[in-house]
């Protein structure tokens, strides 16, 4: 996980405390509820400039920091591919 993603995700995890965020960190256990998850989705779309595809909109994607990071990476790769195709 890169630092911008960690910086974006951390404020949505009130129970994280001083512990490091790892790919195995379970978001629900760290205080992520539906309302926060929706705001996080907005933050990903607005802050990272990617839109998660419909097939990644499920509870598995939002289960851990690592699963969400993987979906964000897939969306970023797809967006980059689109940009190259358009160029």
Partner 1 sequence: MSVFAAREAAAGTGSPLATLPADTSGADLWHALGAQNRLAGVYRGNDPRRGVDPAALSTLLTDVDRRFGVGSTLAVTVPLATCLPLLAHGTGPATHTLADSLDGHTVVALAATDEDSGCDLAALDTRVTFDGDRVRLDGTKRWITNATTCGAALVLARHRPGPHFTNFTWVLVPADAPGVRAEPAGTDLFDGSGTGHLAFDGVRLTREHVVGGTGRGLSAFAAHIATERLAGALWAVALCERVLRDTARHLGRRRQGGGVLWDREAIRQRWAGALLRSRQHRALTESLTEAVAARRDTAAAALLKASAAETVEHVLDVCAHLQGAHGFRTGGPQQLRAQAALFGIGGGTTEVVLDIMAETAPLAGAGELP
Q: Which residues bind partner 1 (CB under 8 A)?
A: 11-12, 14, 33-39, 41-42, 46, 54, 57-59, 61-62
Residue in 18, 10, 15, 19 with CA at minimum distance from that of residue 29:
15
Secondary structure (3-state) at 37: helix
Q: Kindly tell me which of 24 and 54 has the beta carbon lying closer to partner 1.
A: 54
Q: Kindly tell me which of 13 and 25 has the beta carbon lying closer to partner 1.
A: 13
Secondary structure (3-state) at 64: strand
CB of 41 to partner 1, least distance (A): 5
């Amino acid at each position: 996980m890169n630092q911008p993603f960690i910086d974006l995700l951390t404020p949505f995890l009130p129970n994280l405390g001083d512990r490091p965020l790892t790919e195995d960190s379970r978001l629900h256990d760290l205080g992520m509820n539906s309302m926060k998850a929706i705001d996080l989705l907005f933050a990903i779309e607005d802050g990272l400039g990617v839109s998660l595809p419909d097939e990644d909109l499920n509870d598995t994607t939002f289960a851990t920091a690592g699963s969400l990071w993987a979906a964000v990476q897939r969306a970023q790769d797809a967006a980059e591919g689109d940009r190259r195709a358009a160029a």
